[in-house]
Structure 1
Amino acid sequence: MVLAAAAVKQGVADACISAGNTGALMAAGLFVVGRMKGIKRPALAPTIPTTDGKGFVLLDAGANADAKPEHLLQFGMMGSAYVSAVEKITKPRVGLLNIGTESNKGTDLTKGAYVLLEQNTQINFVGNVEARDLLSGVADVVVTDGFTGNMVLKTIEGTAGSLMKMVKGAMTATPLSKLGALTMKKGVYQIKDMMDYSNYGGACLFGLAGTVVKAHGSSNAHAIETTVAQVIAMVEGNIIGKINESLEQSKKEEQINE
């Protein structure tokens, strides 16, 4: 990991991919590659499957347990730049994870973040989004603190796995259900593919001065192939440059408003 991060720092490599320990990769990214100028906190950003097959980027998913409103604003800017460049969405919808859609709902963190996100012209903020709507594709980018994001991520992963086991159990419970399973097999596999992490690439470590992506620990060959394609799109889309542009423009607007 350290050698890979060093290669990015030295310009020998355009990006670093690792399926190793997340904490170790984050440490290598921060201390070897270095943090991007102007970014206050890095963020771990995986792509989560949705029912329409497009997915959404969740950040932070565990890089920082605590966060401030300005951190969530930067998460929204970084996630928006990524989706715009890689997914080719002109104005990605950025949502703030909350317990209600009303602007006055939530904690001091979410209320403060709501104001900053709403005022920022660099992102297409669509307001608060609830956890129950995440998989329906309510937003292209969803921002939250790392503690909440990590729990959401693991809850979705666990639920998806449990549901597939329940469906398999129901389809093989009786001779009649096994017969019915033959007609449903294609549809069930389509659902399985839709929820398969290996089709969505790795989790980006945003906020670093270079491109670093964390592949799933249990990645197979297909998952690594998908992550490599994802990283190529990130490099060709100049993600680092676009995040820098967004930060600079936001800084100029803040100075004008002052």
Structure 2
Amino acid sequence: MKIAVDAMGGDLAPQAIVEGVIQAASELPSEARIVLIGRENIILDIFKQNNFTPVNIDIVHAEDVIEMGEHPTKALSQKPNSSIGIGFRLLKEKEVDIFCSAGNTGAMHVGALFSIKAIEGVLRPAIAGFVPQVGGGHSIMLDIGANADCKPEVLSQFGEIGSLFAQHTFQIDNPRVALMNIGEEEQKGSLTAQATYPLLKANKKINFIGNIEGKDLFNDKADVIVTDGFTGNILFKLGESLYDIMKKRGIQDDFIDQTNYESIGGSPIIGVNGNVMIAHGVSSPLAIRNMIGWAYKQVKSKAYQHIAQALN
């Protein structure tokens, strides 16, 4: 297994990225190798600073960098030799099994659609977030930012592909799928939510349990939470803020610690023909280390292959 990591993407790159890779390298099973993509001389300098000798890490040189504020489509076309561009080329050619980056989120999403493309039958690939639950474990929420506006048919499909992802990633036999709404009653919500509910209810391939509200986000009510990218992004970042507030107040709690973005480190793009994980732009070494651990789990789950088989 080869896990590709963009060394140059992120506000704290390359230092934080490479240091996170160093931490992860000693924890990975022997079958896994990390492919670090970026400016080789800089990567080697950081290895030297940390007195680190790579054993299970390969370096692929990439001279260019897509900056955080660049236009995704233009940057990808103008910088094919960027770390993101090369990462997607390696993924498309199946030289690596997953590509991870804390860089330009738009470039990562567009790069996935242009290179490995959406799975046939998927209307809109989604960025999914792992939401900690008070009883332990995580729910998967999609979308959390790729599709701010969604038609009912798209939201309904999120329920199906999210269910498959949860089933194979979390080993849940019959994942509970819920629609995020402003009330539990079937007729509640926006016109889009009202039109989505019957589509989810009629889908015999999923275990739809109805609407949930914002207060249920962490309460073990659902394994898959369906929402548009606008609402999902707000909820997800609101959840992340709990850790920062508690830390500033000097309060430590095991559950609140799980809302820290570093605890997972990355979010998968679900619905594309390959494994892609996007990390927070301000990712620390700890976040990168944890992202690589989850990347390993994602490859082992073969979730995207199961989604493709189910839709075809």
| TM-score normalised by L of structure 1 | 0.83
Shift of 1:230: 1.9
Query: Match for residue 231 of structure 1?
Result: 295
Query: Match for residue 28 of structure 1?
Result: 111
Matched, 1:209 2:292: no
Q: Which amino acid aligns with 2:174?
A: K
Q: Which amino acid aligns with 1:210?
A: G
Q: For residues 79-125 of structure 1, what are the alpha-carbon distances to aligned partners after superposition, in whole Å with 9 as ceiling and x for unaligned?
A: 11111111111111111000001111111211111111111122111
Given candidates 212, 219, 233, the residue that maps to 2:283 is 219
In 1, Cα distance between the equivalents of 2:224 and 2:283? Answer: 24
Matched, 1:75 2:158: yes
> 1:82-97 to 2 correspondence within 5 Å?
82-97=165-180
> 1:175-254 to 2 correspondence within 5 Å?
188=252, 190-248=254-312
> 1:41-190 to 2 correspondence within 5 Å?
41-166=124-249, 168=250, 188=252, 190=254
In 2, Cα distance between the equivalents of 1:201 and 1:220? Answer: 9
In 2, Cα distance between the equivalents of 1:101 and 1:56? Answer: 19
CA contact (8 A) 2:265 2:283 kept: no
Change (3 A) 1:144 1:191: closer
Number of equivalences: 229
| TM-score normalised by L of structure 2 | 0.69
In 1, Cα distance between the equivalents of 2:288 and 2:268? Answer: 14
Structure holding more helix per residue: 1
Identical columns (%): 38
Task: Look up the SS of the partner of 2:177 in the other structure.
Answer: strand
Q: What stretches of structure 1 move > 6 A for 4+ residues in a row?
A: none
In 2, Cα distance between the equivalents of 1:136 and 1:120? Answer: 24
Given candidates 77, 82, 89, the residue that maps to 1:6 is 89
Q: Which amino acid aligns with 1:163?
A: M
Change (3 A) 1:144 1:201: same
In 1, Cα distance between the equivalents of 2:228 and 2:255? Answer: 29
**Structure with bigger RCO (C-alpha 8 Å, 6+ apart):** 1
In 1, Cα distance between the equivalents of 2:153 and 2:291? Answer: 29
5+ unaligned residues in a row in structure 1: which ranges? 172-187, 249-258
Q: Which amino acid aligns with 1:43?
A: A
Shift of 1:134: 0.7
Q: Which amino acid aligns with 1:89?
A: I
What is the root-mean-square deviation of aligned Cα atoms in Å? Answer: 1.7
5+ unaligned residues in a row in structure 2: which ranges? 1-83
Shift of 1:35: 1.5
Structure holding more strand per residue: 2
Task: Look up the SS of the partner of 1:116 in the other structure.
Answer: helix
